[in-house]
Chain A
Amino acid sequence: MGKKVSSLGRTYLTLGFIFLYLPILILIIFSFNESKLVTVWGGFSTKWYGELLHDKQMLSAAWMSFKIAFLAASTAVVLGTMASIVMVRMGQFKGKAAFASMITAPLVMPEVITGLSLLLLFVAMAQTLGWPAGRGMLTIWIAHVTFCTAFVAVVVSSRLREMDASLEEAARDLGAPPWKVFFLVTLPIIAPALISGWLLAFTLSLDDLVIASFVSGPGSTTLPMVVYSSVRLGLSPKINALATIIVLLATTGVLTAWWLARRVETQSVELPTHHS
């Protein structure tokens, strides 16, 4: 493969991208609308951004979501990487099939089922073990780590599969203990995948409404929960302003990560030629 895109193909792709991006573009345009009516243009204004910055409830929910997403993504990267090593580098062991299904099933499990089942677990645990005492940041963190681990495992294991296993073998043959092989050889090579896995987990956690609604408690309202309850009351230009900020942050984040990953990748490809 690798031909020029035909004109028919180009037209189709363009239509596809219009479908994907036009709704987002419209959201952004109407965030600068003077009028409260979200679909009628009433002049340029940035007042909704000002209102957004003074919305204490929104800000504290955003901070809560950010903290949870940071912690959940970091934990999920550790667990997900361990899980991928088990899947890709270890041979057969008893219970591997069950392990594999616990990694793939969360990828597609409807959120209402995951949310309800985790809530019932937390309630049952609180009843019998007395822990977790209440529902809040801790329970949302656990729930998010659980489904994010599966996504990280998919990203990391595909990278682990592609990497040249002979590098690890060489290090082992030279007498390096397994942990040293991992931290000095494997980790630097799969690092771009860890970054993308972390970012994916962070976004998934930041974005989750359904599971968090089930497992949260009073005083632990996340950003999607505030957005949802405000959207239920009708369209609001303030949500458009928030959407614009999220789109801006996500685009910068993803493009930076993409650029970094590509740089690391080209470096690691160049590395062996330096030595030869």
Chain B
Amino acid sequence: MSWGWRSVIGVPYIWLALFFLVPFVIVFKISFSEMAYAIPPYTDLVTWANEQFTLSLNLGNYAYLFTDDLYIRAYLSSIRIAAIATVICLLVAYPIAYVIARAEPATRNALLMLVILPSWTSFLIRIYAWVGILKNNGLINNFLMWLGIIDQPIAMLNTEFAVYVGIVYAYLPFMVLPLYTNLMKLDNSLLEAASDLGAAPWKVFMTVTLPLSKAGIIAGSMLVFIPAVGEFIIPDMLGGAETLMIGKVLWQEFFNNRDWPVASAVAIVMLLLLLLPITLFHRYQARELENEGAN
């Protein structure tokens, strides 16, 4: 291999290894140290004293995560909220992707563009928009009270409901895109064959379209579920104090309690929980990245 090719591989490889892979090793290491009032605020694992190395692995942070039920509840409710939001997102996105994929080529591009466009504006600001809509004296409550349907505002902001709205709203394009790509590849003659053989439209959908779009469903769901589990902005701005999510717990552990070792342990456990979904996503995405399409 020539010098040139080596550097084409080497430069991005070294960058990603140094700034994506190595950091996890350090998080793993610090999750075994103890909090200290020092700069940086944790103890060294390996110390050199009395002419010998001492390696002190402190499992206390992990033990702490399992004794204080705040953490377990936060992990479980993050997974539950992310899973429910992903399913809602899929149900909303599938028909959108389906209709766009079946439109004429010229309209198709414009429609897809319209789905993606909002995600080019600030995520933070799009979530902020919902605060004004959902709060007690917000637009929905004002409107319903003006209509006389309710006379007490419905509490929507600072509930789990608001978090679902936020996740579905912010992540919808990430679900639509892989579904659309997948549905576009669908061989139309299969659908025609099924209906020519007398299958009813819903049966064609259930037995042909849906199974063939499995790859898109998996990719889209993982693209929503994995970041949603660790989401910080949405539960922080819309969820209120009641909604417990692990991304927010990690943030508070780090910024408010300044306990870096516990924050690291929280991150490692989250990573372990997400390992399976990430592997699933990777298997799909690697197939997309590699040279398959050219053959």
Contacts and interface: CB of A to CB of B under 8 A. Distances in A.
A224 B250 contact: no
B114 A17 contact: yes
Contact of A24 (B9, B126, B232, B288): B126
The A interface, classified by DSSP as helix, strand, loop or mixed, is helix
Contacts of B92: 16, 19
A3 interface: yes
A178 B230 contact: no
Interface string A86-114: 11111001010101111111111111110
Interface residues of A, number: 98
B4 A23 contact: no
Given A104-B285, A116-B267, A178-B5, A110 B229 contact: yes
Nearest to A163: B294
Interface in A206-260: 206-207, 209-210, 213-214, 224, 227-228, 231, 235, 239, 242-243, 246-247, 250-251, 253-254, 258
A13 interface: yes
B133 A104 contact: no
Interface in B1-45: 2, 4-5, 8-9, 11-13, 15-17, 19-24, 26-27, 30, 40
A112 B132 contact: no
Contacts of B130: 23
A9 B289 contact: no
Nearest to A224: B124
Interface stretch (A45-53, A142-150, A266-274): A142-150
Interface string B55-74: 00000000000000000000
Contact of A154 (B26, B95, B289): B289
A13 B290 contact: no
Contact of B4 (A19, A108, A179): A179
A178 B4 CA distance: 9
B289 A162 contact: no
Interface in B208-233: 222-223, 226-227, 229-233
B233 A161 contact: no
Contacts of A199: 120
Given A39-B142, A116-B250, A227-B124, A108 B135 contact: no
A256 to B, nearest CB: 12
Contacts of A127: 40
Contacts of A117: 23-24, 26-27, 267
Contacts of A103: 16, 289
Nearest to B102: A1
B8 A4 contact: no
Contact of B19 (A2, A118, A209): A118
B137 A102 contact: no
Interface stretch (A66-74, A77-85, A186-194): A77-85
Contact of B288 (A23, A158, A250): A158
Nearest to A11: B99
Contacts of B237: 231
Given A24-B126, A108-B223, A121 B188 contact: no
Contacts of B241: none
Contacts of A214: 254
B131 interface: yes
Contact of B254 (A116, A146, A179, A227): A116
Interface string B177-195: 0000000101010000000
A265 to B, nearest CB: 11
Interface string B278-295: 100110011011111110
A154 B99 CA distance: 25
B117 A209 contact: no
A250 B121 contact: yes
Given A5-B107, A82-B11, A20 B172 contact: yes
Contacts of B233: 209-210, 228
A74 B277 CA distance: 31
Contacts of A235: 128, 131-132
B263 interface: yes
Interface of A: 1-6, 9-10, 12-13, 16-17, 19-21, 23-24, 26-27, 30, 38-40, 79-80, 82-90, 93, 95, 97, 99-113, 116-118, 120-121, 123-124, 127, 142-143, 145-146, 149, 153-154, 157-158, 161-162, 165, 178-179, 199, 203, 206-207, 209-210, 213-214, 224, 227-228, 231, 235, 239, 242-243, 246-247, 250-251, 253-254, 258, 262
Leading 7 A-B pairs by shortest Cβ distance: A110-B230, A117-B23, A9-B99, A23-B129, A108-B226, A121-B23, A102-B16
Interface of B: 2, 4-5, 8-9, 11-13, 15-17, 19-24, 26-27, 30, 40, 92, 95-96, 98-105, 107, 109, 111, 113-118, 120-126, 128-133, 135, 137-139, 142, 169, 172, 184, 186, 188, 222-223, 226-227, 229-233, 237, 247, 250-251, 254-255, 260, 263-264, 267, 270-271, 274, 277-278, 281-282, 285-286, 288-294
Given A85-B8, A102-B21, A178-B4, 5 more contacts: A110-B247, A121-B22, A145-B19, A227-B125, A243-B121
